[in-house]
Structure 1
Amino acid sequence: MAEYWNYELLVLGDYTLSAGRLTVAVGLALAGLIVSRIAAWLAYRWLDRRWDLSAGADRAALRAIKVAIVLIGFYLAVEQLGVGRFSLGQIQQSELTVGGVFLALIMVWVTWNLSQVAAELVNQWIAGQGIGRSLATLITNLTRAVVIFIGFYVSASSLGFDLNVVLLPLSALGLGLGFGMQRIAENFVSGVILLGERPVKDGDVISISGVTGVVESIGLRSTVIRTFGGTEVIMPNSALITNHFDNWTLTNTRVRGDANIGVAYGSDPEQVMGILMGEMEAHADVLEEPGPRVFFREFGDSALNFRVIYWVEAPAKRLSTLTDLLCSWYQRFAEAGIEIPFPQHDIHIRSGTLPAPEDPPG
């Protein structure tokens, strides 16, 4: 046994590969394969009980665990063979070895897959917080970016890279680009403010710079507003920060509708107000609280003028509700013999002869 264990299979200079060393290395690699399958099965059972992850996140987590254990087994095998100490060169006064590169690749692989799992966990937390779609996407992407950056940073540091040497030129380059990209930077910062303070969120109905519509999405540079005519307007985020805009649905979705109604002189004001109020109270989309109101505004030039106010649950219902009310009011007025006047002018012509024009001077 001892003779087999010390039998030299390969001699290259100072390096000697014995049968025993090769046997242990193969055993470590096989152990990594076996343990990876057992660990993946146990992890699947644990994840299935503790976390309600999506299929993609489950696969990413299991793949990260399985491949990481396999790679660790191969790493230990490489170290056992003595190959891991082979130098590949110098990096910033640090020796780059085969084992170090192998270990760095393991960390990159695991970090990449764990970023997907972390993003899924963050998504699950966001789902219960009532956070808008745009902010949720930003948080998820930032989570993945942070996890990936940490993984690459640790991997590069383990290889001997001094990342400060790389980060300093990048920061100087970023400063130079910043002066030439102030508008983009302004919109980017505005997007972060919008997503953080949330004065407007996905689905809100807003009016800004003559544009009224529904907010489709809020990105880091611009906000997409879909008008009621179906047009998509790309609004720079800085416009939403520096300009005044009306948010119809910031705290609730209720909006007020109103209309001015005129009836002919000779109509009974109490009867008119009763018809107006009755039709609003009977409409399914008119809210009971705050309830509808009717006001007798004035004696107009050719009509008795009334003003009606009502509330609906959503901005999209305001015009359709007004259409229904106008049709029902018109029908009820016709049934009650109440006329809707139209402006008219009386022209009085006096009888007699017109004086003859004088002759122009000579």
Structure 2
Amino acid sequence: FNTTLFELKDTPVTLLSICIFIFFLIGFTYLGSFVKRILNNKVLPRFIKDPGLRFTLSRMTQYVVMIIGMLVSFLFVGVDLTGLAVIFGFLSVGIGFGLQNITSNFISGLIVLFERPISIGDRVLVNDIEGDVQEINIRSTTVRSINNISVIVPNSEFISKNVVNYSYGDPTYRLVIDVGVAYGSDLDLVLKALNEVAEESESILHTPKHDVHLRSFGDSSWNMKLIVWVGNVKEHYSILNELNQAIVRKFRAYDIEIPFPQRDINFRNAMPKNEEVKGEKKEVKSGE
């Protein structure tokens, strides 16, 4: 165990010192996770209400503990600051050759934690995946999709690409419901019905006030839009379903027709059945 394997700036590195280094490194890693858990679950909730800020502070504390642990581990086995400079020099060469992706995700993770473009619990849309941010780690972020699937997204995706954060700053959401009505309908009655649907709903915000618009004329319908505001973007799918059902019931009560596309085909100047074409007549013989 005390046999010298190699030297770093005149400091002998033995198998025993490597084992001690790994032991300390693992110990400080677990200590960092423990400190993060205590801060996030017990200490910070007493002073900070924002769960995203609590997570950021506890995660950064974990990183600080791990960095201190790494330095202590190196110093304990006899590797001084000069030796550390050599080690980091080797690491920089490795980064240059094959660790760019890991380094990019790590730095992006720090940017995400400090700038907080996303926070724990935010509803986001990234890479066509809509879901809630569950955890922000060193290399990646876990997003739980609306289909209850955990998706691991590299942190660099949140920095280098366009990301929609529905919860950033204001969690309210503008919900637009499209519905078509037959051309023969009473327009004033249609407007009244849609306004009543919004006014009777207890799931939407009544400030800002809802709007009802006739947006366009389709092939077989007036295309109406009911625009409402939802207090929490995460609830907009269930509220959309609720309002759609309310519209169907209200239209039936007022005898308002929701049309479906249809085509009328008219034949003009059709030939009589037995008319011969240009005096020619075709005969079909049996067996042919």
Of 163, 168, 171, the residue aligned with 1:250 is: 168
Distance 2:81 2:268 in 1: 100
Write out aligned runs for 1:1-362 (5 A).
119=35, 124-125=43-44, 128-129=47-48, 130=50, 132=52, 134-145=55-66, 148=69, 163-179=80-96, 180-353=98-271, 356=277
Distance 1:330 1:165 in 2: 75
Matching residue's letter, 2:65: R
1:144 partner letter:
V
Q: 1:151 to 1:335 in 2, by over 3 A?
A: same
Match of 1:42 in 2: none
> Aligned residue for 1:22?
none
Q: Which amino acid aligns with 2:86?
A: P
1:257 offset after TM fit, Å? 1.3
- Within 1, Cα distance between the matches of 2:82 and 2:268? 101
1:229 shift after superposition: 0.9
Call closer, same or farther: CA 1:147–1:188 in 2, change over 3 Å: closer
Q: Name the structure 2 match of 1:36.
A: none
Structure 1 residues 152 and 184, CA, compared in 2 at 3 Å: closer, same or farther?
A: closer
Structure 2 CA distance for partners of 1:267 and 1:183, relative to 1, 3 Å = same
Alignment-mate amino acid for residue 145 of structure 1: M
The letter of the residue matching 1:172 is G
| Match in the other structure for 2:21 | none
Query: 2:122 & 2:198 partners in 1: Cα distance?
Result: 26
Q: Cα offset for 1:183?
A: 0.5
- Kindly indicate whether the alpha-carbon contact (under 8 Å) linking 2:35 and 2:58 is maintained by their aligned counterparts in 1: no
Q: Say which SS state the counterpart of residue 227 (structure 2) adopts.
A: strand
Q: Is the 8 A contact 1:204 1:250 kept in 2?
A: yes
CA distance in 2, matches of 1:151, 1:176: 24
Q: What amino acid does structure 2 have at the position aligned with 1:166?
A: G
SS at match of 1:353: coil
Report deviation, 1:131.
5.3
C-alpha distance in 2 between matches for 1:144 and 1:222:
20
Does the CA-based 8 Å contact 1:223-1:235 persist in structure 2?
yes
Map Cα deviations across residues 256-298 of structure 1 (whole Å, 9 max, x no partner).
2112111122211111111111111211111012221100123
Post-superposition offset of 1:205: 0.9
After the TM superposition, which of the residue ranges 171-180 and 305-314 deviates more from structure 2? 171-180
Residue 84 of structure 2 aligns to which amino acid in structure 1?
L
Q: Is the 8 A contact 1:126 1:136 kept in 2?
A: no
In structure 2, the residue corresponding to 1:229 is in which secondary structure? coil
Aligned CA distance change for structure 1 residues 269 and 165 (closer, same or farther; 3 Å): same
The alignment's TM-score, normalised by the length of structure 2, stands at: 0.74
- TM-score, L = length of structure 1: 0.60
Q: Which runs of 5+ in 2 are unaligned?
A: 1-8, 11-23, 281-288
Corresponding residue pairs, total: 244
**Paired letter, 2:100:** Q
> 1:162 and 1:294, CA in 2 relative to 1: closer, same or farther beyond 3 A?
closer
Shift of 1:146: 5.4
**Post-superposition CA distance 1:16-63 (Å, at most 9, x none):** xxxxxxxxxxxxxxxxxxxxxxxxxxxxxxxxxxxxxxxxxxxxxxxx
Larger % of helix: which?
A: 1
- The code of the aligned residue for 1:171 comes to F
Contact 1:258 1:309 in 2 (8 A): yes
Q: CA deviation at 1:342?
A: 1.6
Amino acid at match of 1:200: I
- Report the Cα distance in structure 1 between the residues aligned to 2:92 and 2:71, rounded to whole angstroms: 23
Q: Deviations over 1:285-316 (max 9, x none)?
A: 11012221100123332222211111111223
Question: Which structure 1 segments of 5+ residues have no match?
Answer: 1-91, 94-107
Identity across aligned pairs (percent)? Answer: 29
